[in-house]
Amino acid sequence: MTTYVLTSARPYGGDPRDVVLRDGVVAGITAPGAADTAGATVVAAAGLMLLPGLVDLHTHLREPGREDAETVETGTRAAALGGFTAVHAMANTSPVADTAGVVEQVWRLGTEAGWCDVAPVGAVTVGLQGERLAELGAMAESAARVRVFSDDGHCVSDAVLMRRALEYVKAFDGVIAQHAQEPRLTEGAQMNEGALSGVLGLKGWPSVAEEAVIARDILLNAHVGSRLHVCHVSTRGSVEILRLAKERGLDVTAEVTPHHLLLDEQLASTYDPVYKVNPPLRSAEDVQALREGVADGTIDAIATDHAPHATEDKEGEWAYASPGMLGLETALSVAQLALVDTGLLDWAGLADRLSTRPAQIGRLEGHGRPVAVGEPANLVLVDPAARRTVDPAALASKSRNTPYAGRELPGRVVATFLRGRATVLDGVLA
Ligand code: DOR
Ligand code: ZN
């Protein structure tokens, strides 16, 4: 196995160090120029940030069932190029990942592809139907060792089912990741509810439909003493509820997507369905509150909600287009732009929200570990000074629905290492 010496890299954006990767682990960290490079592959890393490999709590890989939009192979290539060493694969596939058989299939496909670790998410309810609990225990005990359960795409809106799910996963330290969306309040909804939805004539998705479910679930979770995680938080009110809960010592974690940290509802006025997503892009005020929520730790993690869609599902009339946007290959750049370049977070903080905390929430041992001697060499090298213009045709994802087409973004992933093996070198798949 190749030994790598990353010369003059900056761990967490700090002082330059030479970092030696050997036999799958960080074997040495020395002053610049002090590492033994004999027989090693040298990666010139002056000016590059060295962070723990990114961990995504929320990726749609679409396999099985919609291999025309994405496969485990193409989605994990996109992940590696984005700096990720582990992704959680959402359960809304076809068939739904609601049995040990399906989660093991996804896990095995991820292992065979080898671009990053794939941790399958198990459905909470059979077929995402919200009627009865899926085989949570069997999925937890399967080879996939599922710890995160979610009906994402759908809300577990029945309070009794949600309570039972939270109780059930305590036995194996699982977590319920809730897609918080009160279904009756959002029937037919197309965009954020507000003055603009009225002007555009698109049915509104009110903030309260998210906030009411989050408040209910925090209380339910406090009652049963389990683990609740809130997917893709999108409103200022949600941040306020989470902040209050954490101040009271209640156990809840939350994520926000890169697109909700950068884009706002004004884009809906283009009627270009590339901007249609669930939850919808919100107001500029919401975007600012979300950024502040990440900065002060109220929001634990940034998670992509990478949602590839085939062209025929995404192009056409807004009302009929599928919601969702690509995220894996642009997440780090968008997070840099929204949080680091604005001075809200430093690189260590960004590593915490994009790696350490998501790995802890998902209970992924070996990921999100400190950049330190003896730790698994799951790492990403980033050039923060680089700039690139996003070209949809050049993405590794099988789909093209990026909202950043033609946009210049800061930062570039130079290399990604999975247990000491380069999956990306010089910005291309290794
Ligand atoms: O925009 C979204 N797309 N939100 C979801 O909750 C599901 C996802 C998808 O599966 O496409
Ligand atoms: Zn969702």
283 confidence band (pLDDT: 50, 70, 90) = very high
Could you give the CA distance from residue 34 to residue 3 in angstroms, rounded to a whole number?
Answer: 16
- pLDDT digits 0-9 by tens, 406-425: 999 999 999 999 999 999 99
Q: Which residue has the tokens 């992940």?
A: 79
| For range 267-274, the mean pLDDT | 98
Q: Which residue has the tokens 């999925």?
A: 139
Closest CA to 359 of 99, 132, 51: 51
> Does residue 154 contact residue 182 with C-beta atoms inside 8 Å?
no
Active-site position among 151, 300, 305, 352: 305
- The DSSP line for 23-34 is TTEEEEEESTT-
- pLDDT digits 0-9 by tens, 219-258: 999 999 999 999 999 999 999 999 999 999 999 999 999 9
The Å distance, Cα 178 to ligand 2 centre, comes to 8
CATH 2.30.40.10 segments of the chain = 4-49+375-429
Establish whether 251 is a catalytic residue: no
- pLDDT digits 0-9 by tens, 38-76: 999 999 999 999 999 999 999 999 999 999 999 999 999
What is the reported pLDDT for 194?
98
Beta-carbon contacts of 360 under 8 Å, excluding residues fewer than 6 positions away, are 368
Mutating to test ligand 1, I would choose from 62, 70, 92, 94 the residue with most ligand atoms within 8 A of its C-beta, which is: 92
Q: What sign for the dihedral angle of Cα 357, 103, 158, 179?
A: positive
- pLDDT digits 0-9 by tens, 106-162: 999 999 999 999 999 999 999 999 999 999 999 999 999 999 999 999 999 999 999
Name the residue at shortest CA distance from atom 4 of ligand 1: 278
Q: What sign for the dihedral angle of Cα 246, 289, 308, 311?
A: positive
Residue 353 per-residue DSSP state: I
Residue type, 216: R
Number of residues in the chain: 430
Could you give the CA distance from residue 299 to residue 256 in angstroms, rounded to a whole number?
Answer: 7
Mutating to test ligand 1, I would choose from 152, 313, 402 the residue with most ligand atoms within 8 A of its C-beta, which is: 152
Could you give the CA distance from residue 338 to residue 82 in angstroms, rounded to a whole number?
Answer: 17
Classified by CATH at the fold level, domain 53-362 comes out as TIM Barrel (3.20.20)
The Å distance, Cα 279 to ligand 1 centre, comes to 8
| For range 273-301, the mean pLDDT | 98
Beta-carbon contacts of 129 under 8 Å, excluding residues fewer than 6 positions away, are none
Closest CA to 58 of 294, 258, 221: 258
What is the reported pLDDT for 113?
98
Angle between helices 236-247 and 208-224 (to 10 degrees): 20
> Does residue 128 contact residue 166 with C-beta atoms inside 8 Å?
no
The class level of CATH for 4-49+375-429 reads mainly beta
CATH 3.20.20.140 segments of the chain = 53-362
3-state secondary structure labels for all residues of 123-144: CCEHHHCCCCECCHHHHHHCCC
According to the annotation, is 61 in a ligand binding site? Answer: yes
Residue type, 422: A
The Å distance, Cα 232 to ligand 2 centre, comes to 7
Lining residues, ligand 1, CB within 6 Å:
60, 92, 152-153, 179, 277-278, 307, 322-324
Could you give the CA distance from residue 262 to residue 49 in angstroms, rounded to a whole number?
Answer: 22
What is the reported pLDDT for 370?
98
